Amino acid sequence: MQWIDLRSDTVTRPTAKMRKAMAQADVGDDVYGEDPTINRLEARAAEIFRREAGLFFPTGSMANQVAIRLHTRPGEEILCESRAHVLDWEMGTAAVFSGCTLRTVEAPRGILTWDLIRASVFRDVPFHASTGLICVENTHNMAGGTVMPAATAHEICQGAHAAGLPMHLDGARIFNAAVALNVTVHELTASFDTVMFCLSKGLGAPVGSMLVGSADHMRLARNLRKAMGGGMRQAGILAAAGLIALEEMPARLPEDHANAQLLAEAIGPFAAAEIDLGGVQSNIVIFTLPHGGDASEFVSAIRQYGVLANAVGPRAVRLVTHLDVSREECQRAAGAVAEVLAGWGNK
């Protein structure tokens, strides 16, 4: 069966052009700083985000965790939103690698504001772990791909910096946020101390994420990456695909966002499902099944139609659009979703 795979945008495969660039990439030993293709990718990422330097990582989780280690000391606390990737999907590494705990702040649609954050900041209180870092996610994956506007991000960074706190952005899908808001990634990220973004999701590279920031931070991050086992050798083969992802793939993201809208609208009319249509802002659709069948039953049912989806909670289902699902496939998936939900009751 030819699956319509909406589990995640991580399932995207490298394009023909990426494979060709990978085959022809100039490479060297990157632990010695001698891989010309990685050096080019790091320089381009820094240029696009207008930072002093960039660093190539095998995964976004490693880049996030290295950033956390850069900014914190053991015993400190990291503030993040209640459904943040750094908390829920990174194996508790902040505790292991940085000796930090995480304190969560719940935000409507996952979009933090300085007003929501400020009450949870502790400094020099003899009962509480001191806040060492604030970490923001844009787009917010588990809130359904919601987007944080530039003004909100700047306000949080301003408040944090005034309190002497560094800011890290988990911008795994920052290009999706930029497309949704029609601004540049630089405008969305300018006030953060470090920014992580993924080449391997909607941008289609097979492997890789970037961290960008100051030259000093990236020098330290290079050592911490090695400490995590992330020093790669002739990884220019991967960076070659990453360069195409970075230069060419953001331009097609609006297609994925339009396809997510199509799926969300198919879910809207059914009593069996609950969806916040205004919260569908990029390439992710999350809906819940408050009564009747649960998320895993839905995932099995939709599988019979050749559509793959992920249960992201006992009653929550996630659909993610991407490069490897066409408009036509999303229309078929929308039809399948409607048929399954119709069997579970109309509004």
Q: What is the DSSP letter of 279?
A: G
DSSP state of 146: B
Residue tagged 């330097």 (tokens) = 53
Closest residue by beta carbon to ligand PLP: 60
From the CA atom positions of the chain, what is the Rg in Å?
20
Which residues pair with residue 77 across a beta bridge?
101, 131
Whichever of 318 and 341 has its CB closer to ligand PLP, that residue is 318
For the bound state, the minimum distance from the C-beta of residue 305 to ligand PLP, rounded and expressed in Å, comes to: 26
Label the pairing between strands 194-198 and 167-170.
parallel
Closer Cβ to ligand PLP, 189 or 209, answer by number: 209
Coil, helix or strand at residue 151? helix
Q: Identify the three-state secondary structure at position 273.
A: coil
Helices 327-343 and 253-267, interaxial angle, to 10°?
A: 20
Least distance to ligand PLP from the beta carbon of 71, Å? 16
Task: Select from 131, 146, 176, 209 the one that contacts ligand PLP (CB under 6 A).
Answer: 209
Q: Which of residues 266-295 bind ligand PLP (CB under 6 A)?
A: none
Token pair 């998936």 is found at 333
Binding mask 123-142 for ligand PLP (x = CB under 6 A): --------------x---x-
Q: x/- contact string, 83-122, with ligand PLP (CB under 6 A)? A: --x-------------------------------------
How many other CB atoms are there within 10 angstroms of residue 176's CB atom? 28
* Nearest distance in Å: CB 208, ligand PLP: 8
- The reply to whether 256 sits near ligand PLP by the rule CB under 6 A is no
Stated as kind and residue range, the H or E segment containing 337 is: helix 327-343
Q: Is position 170 an interface residue for ligand PLP (rule: CB under 6 A)?
A: yes
**Rounded CA separation 255/228 (Å):** 36
| Positions 52 through 71 that interact with ligand PLP (CB under 6 A) | 59-61, 64
Phi (first) and psi of residue 316, to 5 degrees = -120, 135
Report the residue number, 72 or 141, with the smaller CB distance to ligand PLP.
141
Q: How far is CA 7 from CA 3, 231, 307, in A?
A: 11, 30, 9
Residues contacting ligand PLP: total by CB under 6 A = 11
Nearer to ligand PLP by Cβ, of 272 and 284: the residue is 284
Considering the complex, what minimum distance in angstroms separates the CB of residue 194 from ligand PLP? 13
What residues contact 61, with CB distance under 8 A and at least 6 apart? Answer: 85, 89, 90, 91, 93
DSSP 210-255: EEEE-HHHHHHHHHHHHHTT---SSTHHHHHHHHHHHHHSGGGHHH
Q: Does 9 bind ligand PLP (CB under 6 A)?
A: no
Residue 198 within binding range of ligand PLP, rule CB under 6 A: yes
Q: How far is the CB of 345 from ligand PLP (least distance, A)?
A: 32
Nearer to ligand PLP, 117 or 199 (CB): 199
Shortest Cβ 88–ligand PLP spacing (Å): 10
Binding stretches for ligand PLP (CB under 6 A): 59-61, 64, 85, 137, 141, 170, 172, 198, 209
